[in-house]
């Protein structure tokens, strides 16, 4: 099956899905080649195509990306892609156990008013003989890339393919994966993709913990302790007027209170993830492990 239309309650007029799109209803395409002419025709008709790339297991953070897209100026058609991209998983990472709750994801899309969803199979995205990859460059080997070799090459490769398939005017990414957002922005600039990239602030739980599909792997005790990451970032950002060293020291002191959360890195960088400035806009980033689950978070810091 390459296409199915899932009614949100009310019936769409007969024949309205003939072209792979039914206004006000969710149409799911599994074959990218069937979606491309649909988004192209909608763009031609003056609609703004907003792509939200995801790996599924949609949570409030993804819903916020969709809502943000729908609030953009113009007549927006939000397009959600759901694809667990094998290229961005290293050996021993969680490709097999990555959650794939497709029906719940489609329900979430329907509730958020999404009209088009792309759910390609691996063979659609990487048919036999597919060898070409995007190289993320030096930043792709730092921070997350230092422990996840090739991860960002995989991310940028699939994102560039999605950009070609969907042809969006705008693509939305969460600031939670700030390095990913930065690298996507850079790729768009370096490779002249004709679209704009929008970063959407991280959605957090009441205790500050950033929403992530990986939080589901934490047991209740780990989940409780893991909130130290957000507390550390807030502690650092709150002393930003005292300069970079004070920011890092305050964050480190907070992290030291939870030795079971194994720190990987705590870094202060500029907003493009270059070396930290002495003053101005910066980003405080943290990565740590709770058991076998790797967690990341970051906040803006005004030095
Ligand atoms: O952030 C994610 O979920 C993924 O890295 C993305 C951007 C969908 C690419 O697979």
Query: Would you please indicate which residues are annotated as catalytic (active-site) residues?
Result: 62
pLDDT value of position 13: 36
Token pair 């002495």 is found at 278
Q: Give the angle subtended at the CA of 300 by the CAs of 194 and 178, to the nearest 5°.
A: 45
Q: Give the angle subtended at the CA of 70 by the CAs of 193 and 23, to the nearest 5°.
A: 95
Q: What percent of the chain has pLDDT over 70?
A: 94
CA of residue 25 to ligand 1 center, whole Å? 25
Residue 2 has pLDDT above 70, yes or no: no
- The per-residue pLDDT of the chain, averaged, comes to 93
Mean predicted confidence (pLDDT) in 168-177: 98
Confidence category of residue 1, pLDDT binned at 50, 70, 90: very low
Rounded to the nearest angstrom, the gap between the alpha carbon of residue 49 and the centroid of all alpha carbons in its chain is 17
Q: Give the angle subtended at the CA of 221 by the CAs of 215 and 226, to the nearest 5°.
A: 50
Report the number of secondary-structure helices (H) and strands (E) in the chain.
Answer: 10, 10
State the angle between helix axes of 244-256 and 228-238 in degrees (0 to 180), rounded to the nearest 10: 150
Q: Give the angle subtended at the CA of 175 by the CAs of 201 and 117, to the nearest 5°.
A: 90
Q: Which residue pairs, CB below 8 angstroms and at least 24 apart, start in 97-105? A: 98/55, 98/57, 98/213, 99/56, 99/57, 99/213, 99/216, 100/56, 100/57, 101/56, 101/57, 102/56, 104/58, 105/54, 105/56, 105/57, 105/58
pLDDT value of position 14: 32
Contact 276, 257 (CB under 8 A): no
Beta strands 261-270 and 170-174 are: unpaired
Can you tell me the distance from the alpha carbon of 66 to that of 54, in angstroms, rounded to the nearest whole number? 11
Can you tell me the distance from the alpha carbon of 171 to that of 102, in angstroms, rounded to the nearest whole number? 22
Can you tell me the distance from the alpha carbon of 50 to that of 70, in angstroms, rounded to the nearest whole number? 8
pLDDT value of position 7: 44
Burial class (CB in 10 A: 0-12, 13-18, 19+), 99: middle
Q: 249 CB contacts (<8 Å, ≥6 apart)?
A: none
**Ligand 1 pocket, 160 CB below 6 A?**
no
Mean predicted confidence (pLDDT) in 109-128: 98
The string of DSSP letters for 159-196 reads HHHHHHHH--SEEEEEGGGHHHHHHHHHHHHHTT-SSE
CA of residue 52 to ligand 1 center, whole Å? 9
Atom 9 in ligand 1: which residue has the minimum CA distance?
Answer: 155
CA of residue 151 to ligand 1 center, whole Å? 11
Which atom from ligand 1 is nearest to the alpha carbon of 184?
7
pLDDT value of position 238: 98
């Amino acid at each position: 099956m390459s296409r199915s239309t899932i009614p949100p309650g009310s019936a769409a007029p007969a024949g309205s899905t003939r072209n792979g799109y039914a206004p006000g209803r969710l149409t799911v395409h599994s074959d990218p080649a069937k979606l491309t002419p649909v988004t192209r025709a909608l763009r031609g008709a003056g609609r703004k195509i907003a792509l939200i790339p995801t790996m599924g297991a949609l949570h409030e953070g993804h819903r916020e990306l969709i809502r943000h897209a729908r609030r953009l100026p113009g007549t927006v058609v939000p397009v959600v892609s759901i694809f667990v991209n094998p290229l961005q998983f290293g050996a021993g990472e969680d490709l097999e156990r990555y959650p794939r709750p497709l029906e719940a994801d489609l329900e979430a899309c329907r509730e958020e008013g999404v009209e088009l969803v792309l759910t390609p199979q691996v063979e659609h995205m990487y048919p036999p003989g597919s060898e070409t990859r995007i190289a993320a460059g030096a930043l792709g080997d730092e921070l997350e890339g230092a422990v996840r070799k090739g991860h960002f090459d995989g991310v940028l490769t699939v994102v560039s393919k999605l950009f070609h398939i969907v042809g969006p005017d705008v693509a939305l990414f969460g600031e939670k994966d700030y390095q990913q957002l930065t690298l996507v922005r850079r790729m768009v600039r370096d490779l002249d993709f004709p679209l704009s990239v929008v970063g959407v602030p991280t959605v957090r739980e009441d205790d500050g913990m950033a929403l992530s599909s990986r939080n589901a792997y934490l047991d209740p005790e780990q989940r409780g302790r893991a909130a130290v990451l957000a507390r550390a970032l807030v502690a650092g950002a709150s002393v930003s007027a005292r300069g970079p060293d004070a920011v890092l020291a305050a964050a480190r002191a907070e992290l030291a209170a939870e030795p079971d959360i194994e720190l990987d890195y705590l870094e202060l960088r500029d907003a493009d993830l270059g070396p930290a400035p002495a003053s101005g806009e910066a980003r405080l980033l943290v990565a740590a492990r709770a058991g076998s689950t790797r967690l990341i978070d970051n906040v803006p810091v005004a030095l």
